[in-house]
Amino acid sequence: MVITEATHTLVPIPQAEGRHFSPDLLKSIRLLRHDETQAHVLFALSELDQNTELFELRDHIRTQLKDSKVTWCDREKLEKISQQFSNSGESLEGVSSSQSVILGLIEKAVELRGSDIHIRIERQYTRVLYRIDGNLRQIRNEAPEWGLRVVNALYNSMCEEHSNTTLSLTEPSDARMREEFVNNFGLSTIRFASRPGGQNRLAVALRLVSRRKESLKFTDLGMNSEEEQALQRVLSSTGGTFFSGPTGHGKSTICQVSAEFMAKEDPGENIISLEDPIESPIEGVFQTPLGQQTHGEALRNLLRMDPDRIYNGEVRDAGAANGVVEAIMTGAPVMTTIHNNSPADIIQRLRRFGVDEDLLFDPTIISGLVGLRLVPLLCGNCKIPWKEGRNDVSPMMQDMVETHAQTMNIYLRRKAGCDFCASTGINGRTGVFEVIETDNRFMRLYSREGKMAAYLDWISQGGRTLCQNLLRLIEAGRVDPVWAHRRICNLDRDARLREGHES
């Protein structure tokens, strides 16, 4: 039976008049309703098959729901079901009015597929904006006093791991929301960051880290078959796979999906993660937080845990970079993310972190460099054909698009949108990838002649760039070329890189 939030709904246990069931029993069961058939299934731990309290509860459910049946499961299956569903029916007790406002903002953001909440406190007003499918949308406009009251309640009473004891209007602050406040919304955590603007002005950004509720395939993320095969070859090597891109463009998701793929390929492998903090559940991986150790210390400790493979949340500093390379050298391949604009720049970043160059240019150690971007998809109901919307585009962009793309099937975003896309002109996002499999030729050129020589040679050997894949989506009528040029990758990027190289 396939169970996801798309097929089933988690429903509360029907109340029995004058009877309260024990918390231990309620933790050991989940009641789901199939959305199509409306049939109910009670999942219960198989170890309770002789439990009299469960028999009583089961009989009570059957009197309320005639179509219900019981399915026995183990603890691993029950936890997986729990992770797939947001139990929004559970309410938090004793929350203040300001905390209720914050929870309402989060609930609405999740409903609208928001990835971030921005609260901008100005001198005369407060603006609340959501980032949805890569674009900011204003949601509320309130008094500055409202904004200060809300963000103070958020930081001081709903967060932990504070960088400052109390929220500061003169210094940046960082924290993350406590687990009990985010679980009901299908989130793993919410990262809090603020920056003062002077004169009691404050910018607050809340990054909503979603908890993946089902296993994804590489194709679900937008990867084509050639890229998927290349990535699978890299992942099965004995080296490291590095995923790069800007904040909020899906690095962690593709890295998590890669770890789950490897765990399914060989269930006998011991795959351990190091994360700061732990985000989405990764099936088949034992996940561990960074804790009080440095990244280098934690990676060295992981090597004493008999790992076959390591999932490292992010390379942020020299300790993490050298720890990852050390782990690979000991025979534990690593999957990790790193902040970089281009996958070819990953090696430069590792060099700045002090990784030894004899190791840096070894393709058996640095095996794969993967870049990605999340691109908003045009609403199929209201997108505008290029010929119809061309005159509303600047002459510079007209020339850019018509020089570097075939315009026959190109469409533009309708700024006013329609009811189907909530007046945004956008409906969902997909990934655009660039997968570089390193080899001795690539690394030798990189070492002797520099990044551009190695990168352009990789392209000449048939490597598909981020720009090429973006143009493929544009020419299929799925992505706005003007938005893509400004936000994702200049459409003339590859042409400019090749200028003077081929002469």
Q: Which three-class secondary structure string do you get for 246-296? A: CCCCCHHHHHHHHHHHHHHHCCCCCEEEEECCCCCCCCCCEEEECCCCCHH
Structure tokens at 314: 């992010």
* Model pLDDT, residue 275: 92
Encode pLDDT of 455-469 as tens digits: 999 999 999 999 999
- Quick one: average pLDDT of 281-286? 92
Could you say which DSSP state residue 16 is in? Answer: B
Encode pLDDT of 417-471 as tens digits: 999 988 889 999 999 999 999 999 999 999 999 999 999 999 999 999 999 999 9
Number of continuous H segments (helices) and E segments (strands) in the chain: 19, 20
- Quick one: average pLDDT of 271-281? 88
* Model pLDDT, residue 208: 94
Backbone angles phi, psi at 174, to 5 degrees: -135, 150
Given a cut of 60, whether residue 352 has pLDDT beyond it is yes
Nearest to 92 by CA among 106, 80, 112, 81: 106
pTM of the complete model: 0.82
Rounded alpha-carbon distances, angstroms, from residue 466 to 220, 296, 375, 477: 18, 32, 11, 17
Q: State how far the Cα of 249 lies from the Cα of 469, in Å rounded to an integer.
A: 16
Strand partners, 348: none
Residues sharing a CB contact under 8 Å with residue 117, sequence separation 6 or more, in sequence order: 105, 106, 109, 128, 129, 130, 131, 205, 206, 208
- Quick one: average pLDDT of 69-98? 78
Given a cut of 50, whether residue 89 has pLDDT beyond it is no
Could you say which DSSP state residue 56 is in? Answer: H
Neighbours of 195 (CB within 10 A): 12
* Model pLDDT, residue 19: 82
Neighbours of 39 (CB within 10 A): 14
Given a cut of 80, whether residue 221 has pLDDT beyond it is yes
Banded pLDDT at 241 (limits 50, 70, 90): very high
Given a cut of 90, whether residue 84 has pLDDT beyond it is no
Q: Which helix (H) or strand (E) holds 62?
A: helix 52-64
- Quick one: average pLDDT of 160-186? 91
Q: State how far the Cα of 26 lies from the Cα of 466, in Å rounded to an integer.
A: 49
Q: State how far the Cα of 314 lies from the Cα of 320, in Å rounded to an integer.
A: 8
Structure tokens at 78: 């029950």
Cβ proximity of 151 and 121 under 8 Å: yes
Higher pLDDT, 134 or 190: 190
Rounded alpha-carbon distances, angstroms, from residue 200 to 195, 310, 368: 11, 45, 47
Given a cut of 50, whether residue 127 has pLDDT beyond it is yes
Higher pLDDT, 281 or 374: 374
- Quick one: average pLDDT of 155-174? 93
Three-state secondary structure call for residue 199:
coil
Q: State how far the Cα of 56 lies from the Cα of 269, in Å rounded to an integer.
A: 42
* Model pLDDT, residue 503: 46
Encode pLDDT of 385-409 as tens digits: 999 999 999 999 999 999 999 999 9
DSSP codes joined into one string, 417-485: --GGGTTSSEEEEEEEEEEEE--HHHHHHHHHH-HHHHHHHHHHTTPPPHHHHHHHHHHTTSS-HHHHH
* Model pLDDT, residue 296: 87
Nearest to 484 by CA among 387, 406, 397, 394: 397
Q: State how far the Cα of 248 lies from the Cα of 241, in Å rounded to an integer.
A: 19
Cβ proximity of 82 and 5 under 8 Å: no
Encode pLDDT of 22-34 as tens digits: 989 998 999 999 9
